[in-house]
Homo-oligomer: A and B are copies of this chain.
Amino acid sequence: MRGVLVGRFQPFHRGHLELIRAVRRRSPKERLLVVIGSAEQAFTWSNPFTAGERFEMIERALAEAHLAEVAVVPVVDISRHALWVRYLEGLLPKFDRVYSHNPLTVLLFRRAGYPTESPPLIARAKLEGVRIRDRLARGLDVRSLVPPAVADYLQEIRATERLAALRPSERRRRRPAKG
């Protein structure tokens, strides 16, 4: 039995960690594989961190939480949604179940016959991604929102400086063109 947790993890936060902990508690024998989606994206407001940085965050947070034996695989996007599940099947070992809250991800895996679960914890997590980035950009504390190891890592890579540079200006938010 293997479950796949699909996310972008920009950044990896407490919601993600709680979800992994919950899956582990419920089915201790289930092998868990974390897919870091949009792995080629970095240095944008929606995807500020490289896949390598996100990999590092996840690894450190899992070690800190003594959650061993979780595999992590960064996956570069394929631009065609209709092929995405088949593409993942061609990259990963066989899996049986998918955890995600993204409606498109859920739709695509269900059409391909996979059972999907969207635990409430991820729902909250989803909201937190952009909120955490916003707090980082404004130099506010995020320690209550991410695992301690991630908070340290974000400081180490000077996330605040990066997010501040990537944040869309007020002006750009109001205009359609990016000119």
Q: Measuring CB to CB, which residues of chain A are less than 8 angstroms from any residue of chain B?
A: 10, 39-46, 50-52, 55-56, 59, 71-74, 76, 79-83, 86-87, 89-94, 103-104, 106-108, 126, 129-130, 133, 162, 165-166, 168, 172-173, 175-179
What is the chain B residue whose CB lies nearest that of A129?
A: B179
| Among candidates B40, B50, B73, B80, residue contacting A42 with C-beta atoms closer than 8 Å | B80
CB distance from A155 to the nearest CB of B (A): 16
CA distance in complex: A35, B56 (Å): 16
In contact, B76 and A73 (Cβ under 8 angstroms): no
CB within 8 Å for A176 and B168 given contacts A82-B50, A87-B83: yes
CA distance in complex: A166, B50 (Å): 27
In contact, B76 and A179 (Cβ under 8 angstroms): no
CB distance from A47 to the nearest CB of B (A): 8
Identical subunits present: 6
What are the residues of chain B within 8 A of A81 when measuring CB–CB?
A: 41-44
Question: 7 closest A-B pairs (Cβ-Cβ)?
Answer: A130-B179, A43-B81, A42-B82, A56-B93, A50-B90, A82-B90, A103-B165
What are the residues of chain B within 8 A of A74 when measuring CB–CB?
A: 73, 91-92
Chain B CB within 10 A, most for which of A76, A107, A175: A76
| Among candidates B43, B56, B91, B178, residue contacting A108 with C-beta atoms closer than 8 Å | B43
Q: Supply 23 A–B pairs (Cβ within 8 Å), ascending by A.
A: A10-B179, A39-B91, A42-B81, A43-B104, A45-B179, A46-B179, A50-B91, A52-B92, A56-B93, A71-B71, A72-B73, A73-B74, A74-B91, A80-B87, A83-B83, A83-B87, A103-B166, A107-B166, A126-B179, A129-B179, A130-B179, A168-B176, A168-B177
CA distance in complex: A51, B81 (Å): 12
